[in-house]
Chains A and B, each alone.
Chain A
Amino acid sequence: MTAPVPRLELGELGLDRGAHLLVKHALRGLALGAELEVVGSAPDLRLHLQAWARQQGLGWAPIPGGARLTRTAALGGRWAGAERAGESAPSGNKSVLEQPPARWGLAARGAMVEAGDLGFEFRLDRKEVLWSERGGELYRQALAAQWDPAVAIDWSAPCELPDEVEDAVVQVMTYLIENETAALLVPARFLSGIHPHFREVLQLLAVQAADEARHIEVFTRRATLKRADLGLSTQGGQASLKTLIDEPDYALAFFLLSVLGEGSFLSLLRFLHEHAPDPVTARVAELSGVDEARHVAFAMAHLKRHLAHDPHLRPRLAAAVEARFDSLREMSGLNEEVFDALVLLAAGSFQPAAIARGHAAVLGLKADMDAARRHRLEQLGFERSEAERLSSLHTRNFM
């Protein structure tokens, strides 16, 4: 005995109001060659079923009140050979692949991806290089810690400084803006080459770039609080930053930028917070420092993981510090104007005794930076003596 043909009753619903969803749903449950009767009272139902069936590659025959459709391979044929792009949650063993195929393109991790290859190219597609288990957690921290410069900083706080000290603040801000611009461009440059499978890395670097954009804003705003013009920008300072921008290797770039550069900046921003001559400077340094600490933490996390997987990475990191030192050997390092401005800023006045205090504070800052760098290098597995040597080779421009 032949099984009765299943029947889909659409009532008043026509294909002009979304009935195709119900028809498709019913067809999906049928075997190839099976029939489905679709009936209803919508005035144009039969006509629309006829045109729709032709477009979908289905069989069609008129019946009273509708049409009889025949399931063919055309329905859902698009999904032959589709593949699941890992798993959305990052925790499972097979969630995040070691090297996801480029053909998955922009598909969300965990999506079912139609077969095909549109020729996407992602230069950065290896988990070993990119991944850190802390990525998702740091991204959530970053989002929760976002601050609005208009709210977080009291721009009307008293800020009447001697001209020389105000000039020093403007010079330091000018230097910071330049450095934060480099810190924005480096993640932004790598972002476009990262396989979207590594969603958390994309998200975190995007927020990192946005953090730097905000730092550029607040440093600019502090610099122009009392002055129309900014301070000096030196070739030496820019040459040092250019080596960061030019570094094509992901691991090396974030080692130099985030571990050594932003790591040093943590000390600098803490110094500015402590010695700032006015509350606005103190606050912008404090807030920026919190963000920078997160950037350093992520770089430390993915580099530790990378080092654990690739024994050849550590000598490459060391060689990168040496190469950068060599390429900057002819440059003068931290420009005099910035150094002097830091002394004056910490001194708070031109009084000799104050200058002496400021000078001592800046020397203390440099020692603090060196100690922090050595500590991080040791955390990355460098021997103490090697950490000392590499820290001493770090750019005198701090970043």
Chain B
Amino acid sequence: MKDSRPLVLGAVAYDAKVVTIWDGFREWFGAQGLAFDYVLFTNYERQVEAHFAGACDVAWNSPLAWIEAQRLAAKRRRTVEAVAMRDTDRDLTSVIVVPAKGSVRSLADLRGRRIGVGAQDSPQATLIPLLHLAEAGLEPGRDVEVVHHDVLVGKHGDHVGGERDAARALLAGQVDAACLLDANHLAFAQDGTFAPGATRLLAQTAAYDHCNFTVLDGAPAQPLARFRELLLGMRHDDPAVRRLLDLEGLKAWLPGRTSGYAQLARAVDRFRFLERWLAAAAG
């Protein structure tokens, strides 16, 4: 009898549209002859643990979840691989902005000030920009006060709400600087959250990568290869898949690469961010 078990993907339900997205992918993969299903998790830590427990074959991981999977794999003598990512997952940067008319002119001026960040587990709006400050000599909690905007902790900042709250706090004078993904700075400038010229770019981090499809050793090779092949073959000019690509925010899937996670790994180490979770998860 033919093995009818579908390839199962894990994803975090950071928004109701996640169901629309993966239902659409499920239908499309099915039409291409790949049996595919998905399970949703409320947070990335649950997803990573479930992935290791065999609940899914491939996990759509945030960059922090990728680091979590890497670290847990090392503890458990497993191997992880990033098989694919969006074109829009590559070479992101974060920015630290201040009010244009304020007195802060350089990073050094932030000493003793309040820094608005996103959710505590957001790589782009918290961990990576705070690392940037720390490596510039401003240790969070010691040299600057960190004000978190904890919208949906566990979803690693996928929800834009934390960054929007940080932006609003900046405009309201509740914080002296705000940390944002570059694309969200553009979005807030275009939607009028930031009036033209209201903020000044104080610092921009080096480029880093975002989400990837993560697999563990022992994942079913053949359906996984087909999954990757189908993903990389999806074209934005194909109307059958364009809606799915638009919803997921990409023009093309690219092969996974792991060179873009070094800053986040340093941040995790420096802030000892995963220690408690890793100890518990590794058993």
Which residues from chain A sit less than 8 Å from chain B, CB to CB?
A: 14-17, 43-44, 47-48, 50-52, 54-57, 73-74, 77-78, 80-81, 114-117
B196-214 Cβ-contact flags toward A at 8 Å (1 or 0) = 1101110010000000000
Is there an interface contact between B252 and A15, defined as CB atoms closer than 8 Å? no
Is there an interface contact between B237 and A73, defined as CB atoms closer than 8 Å? yes
| Cβ contacts under 8 Å, A73 to chain B | 237
**When the two chains form the complex, which single residue of B181, B190, B201, B252 contacts A16, counting CB atoms closer than 8 Å?**
B190
Is there an interface contact between A81 and B237, defined as CB atoms closer than 8 Å? yes
Would you list 5 pairs from A and B whose C-beta atoms are within 8 A, ordered by A residue?
A: A44-B201, A47-B182, A81-B237, A116-B240, A117-B239
| Cβ contacts under 8 Å, A43 to chain B | 100, 197, 200-201
Is there an interface contact between B237 and A78, defined as CB atoms closer than 8 Å? yes
Task: Give 18 new A-B contacts, CB below 8 A, not counting A16-B186, A54-B90, A116-B239.
Answer: A17-B196, A43-B200, A43-B201, A47-B204, A48-B189, A50-B182, A51-B181, A51-B186, A52-B186, A57-B251, A74-B236, A74-B251, A77-B237, A77-B251, A80-B237, A116-B240, A116-B243, A117-B239
Given contacts A44-B201, A50-B93, A55-B183, A16 and B237 within 8 Å (CB-CB): no
Bound-complex Cα distance A320 to B100 (A): 77
Interface residues of B in 178-194 (CB under 8 A from A): 181-183, 185-186, 189-190, 194
The minimal Cβ–Cβ distance linking B232 to chain A, given in whole angstroms, is: 15
Is there an interface contact between A47 and B237, defined as CB atoms closer than 8 Å? no
**B88 interface residue per 8 A CB criterion:** yes
| Cβ contacts under 8 Å, B243 to chain A | 116
**B87 interface residue per 8 A CB criterion:** yes
Given contacts A14-B196, A16-B196, A51-B183, A74 and B201 within 8 Å (CB-CB): no
| Cβ contacts under 8 Å, A115 to chain B | 239
| Cβ contacts under 8 Å, A114 to chain B | 239
CB-nearest residue of chain B to A72: B251
| Cβ contacts under 8 Å, B248 to chain A | none
| Cβ contacts under 8 Å, B200 to chain A | 43
Bound-complex Cα distance A102 to B87 (A): 33
**B242 interface residue per 8 A CB criterion:** yes
CB-nearest residue of chain B to A117: B239
The minimal Cβ–Cβ distance linking A146 to chain B, given in whole angstroms, is: 40
Interface residues of B in 144-198 (CB under 8 A from A): 181-183, 185-186, 189-190, 194, 196-197
Bound-complex Cα distance A224 to B239 (A): 58
Bound-complex Cα distance A222 to B11 (A): 65
**B34 interface residue per 8 A CB criterion:** no
| Cβ contacts under 8 Å, A47 to chain B | 93, 95, 182, 185-186, 201, 204
